[in-house]
Amino acid sequence: MKDIILKAENISKQYRLGQVGTGTLSHDLNRWWHQIRGKENPYLKIGDTNDRSTKGTSDYVWALQDINFEVERGEVLGIIGKNGAGKSTLLKILSRVTAPTTGSIKFGGRVASLLEVGTGFNGEMTGRENIYLNGAILGMTKKEISSKIDEIIGFSGCERYIDTPVKRYSSGMYVRLAFAVAAFLEPEILIIDEVLAVGDAEFQKKAIGKMQDISKTGGRTVLFVSHNMAAIKQLCTRGIVMEHGKIVFDGNTDDAIENYLNANNSIIDINQKKRIGNGLVKIEKVEIVDSKGNLVQNIYSGQDIKVLLHYTCLLKDSEKLNMHPSIAFTNAMGVQIMNHHSRLNGLLYNNLSEKGVFCMCIDRLPLPASNYTVSYSLMSYDDYYDGADEVFAFEVVEGNFYGSGEVPPASHTLFLLDAKWNESTIN
């Protein structure tokens, strides 16, 4: 029999755009009039889906719609999705920071949350005082908190400043102490938002290890939101993918990550791009596919991919064409970081079909998390056939490129070098 520690049933959350509160006085009176007559809130039937990319027609928006899931004791649930998908709103409801518009949540234990920097602590109180305050909120006795306080302080690395008001802490110190409090005061359910990204790589690794420990040995439940797919893969036993305020996938972690990465964005119409060349060989479509042949626009660092250039050939004779297609990647800052053509591999294309595909295979994509675009050109020694810039956009998300769970951000490096360190002596 399943040991369910958290159950969310028909959770929805509605907001009124541009307003504080539930709306105008007339709307509140209308709700009251329906309520005393035993009728449903009339504003539950209106409102736009939570899609930031489109302009809605209603003053109301559904941040969440019909969310249903169960979590078993000891399970580590990863919640993933793009910005604006509703992840943080869901965690705020689960943490009782805000109430759902409709639906209910059933808990089987104490909940500790780490949602965003600045919540949960009193800035005027010292780190030590905040530990006792948070423990008391969780229902622990002073004796229970005292038995854990040395572990909390040691794990946080804030020993020197533990008796200093936390308003003087850096954001990294604040998060380290907040996580240590949430993890060591033994809640049955621990809810962690993307806030761990504020900490340095060493602390993130230590925090993930602690979350694994409390779920496996402590039998406690963790709900974890992150854009770091390597951390999700390493830590979580199950994954939920959210999109526009709804759950679109719930299941195995690897399948959840694949579902998230393969979600289609808007496709760039190549025919709307300025092109150069004589057009006798012409690219009709550019795609990136994964190792299974699935079209992807979200890729993780270290993933095997193929860039496909679908072409048509109008040449009557291409026996000695000697064509070398090239592909270039440009980063979010407009810097071209790679340009690779087939001649570098000693390959020139001849005898083209009327329709076909040029394919560039990339093993272990060596790019850090960021947004990129693809440009291409088709040329031979004598002619330029086709070329266009930024014909395909894709996003790279953090993956376990080095196998250590750590990948430097795009702000620190343009590409990921597959290098090894060892200790050696020079003769």
Give the pLDDT confidence of 360-377 residue by residue, as tens digits: 999 999 998 888 989 999
Q: Residue 190 is encoded by which pair of tokens?
A: 């621990």
Q: Where are the domains of the chain?
A: 4-16+67-261, 273-397
User: What is the rounded distance in angstroms from the CA atom of residue 243 to the CA atom of residue 225?
Assistant: 14
CB 191 within 8 A of CB 111: yes
Q: Return the half-sphere exposure (C-beta side, CA atoms, 13 A cut-off) of residue 260.
A: 32
DSSP class of residue 165?
B
Q: Which CATH architecture has domain 4-16+67-261?
A: 3-Layer(aba) Sandwich (3.40)
Share of the chain above pLDDT 70, in %: 84
How far does the chain reach from its first CA to its final CA, in angstroms? 66
According to the model, what pLDDT value does residue 52 have?
44
Give tens-digit pLDDT for 325-341.
999 999 877 788 999 99
**H helices, E strands: number in the chain:** 8, 19
According to the model, what pLDDT value does residue 136 have?
86
Q: Return the half-sphere exposure (C-beta side, CA atoms, 13 A cut-off) of residue 205.
A: 9
Q: Residue 267 is encoded by which pair of tokens?
A: 């496709």
User: What is the rounded distance in angstroms from the CA atom of residue 130 to the CA atom of residue 127?
Assistant: 5
Please state, in angstroms and as integers, the Cα–Cα distance from residue 197 to each residue in 77, 203, 392, following that order. 18, 10, 29
Q: Which CATH architecture has domain 273-397?
A: Distorted Sandwich (2.70)
Give tens-digit pLDDT for 55-66.
444 567 888 999
According to the model, what pLDDT value does residue 229 have?
79
Return the number of other C-beta atoms located less than 10 Å from residue 79's C-beta.
28
Whether the domain at 4-16+67-261 and the domain at 273-397 fall into the same CATH topology: no
User: What is the rounded distance in angstroms from the CA atom of residue 426 to the CA atom of residue 131?
Assistant: 52
User: What is the rounded distance in angstroms from the CA atom of residue 197 to the CA atom of residue 175?
Assistant: 9
CB 122 within 8 A of CB 130: yes
Given a cut of 60, whether residue 416 has pLDDT beyond it is yes
Single-letter residue type at 340: H
pTM, full prediction: 0.65
Phi and psi torsions of 13, nearest 5°: -135, 125
Give tens-digit pLDDT for 213-232.
888 877 889 898 887 777 78
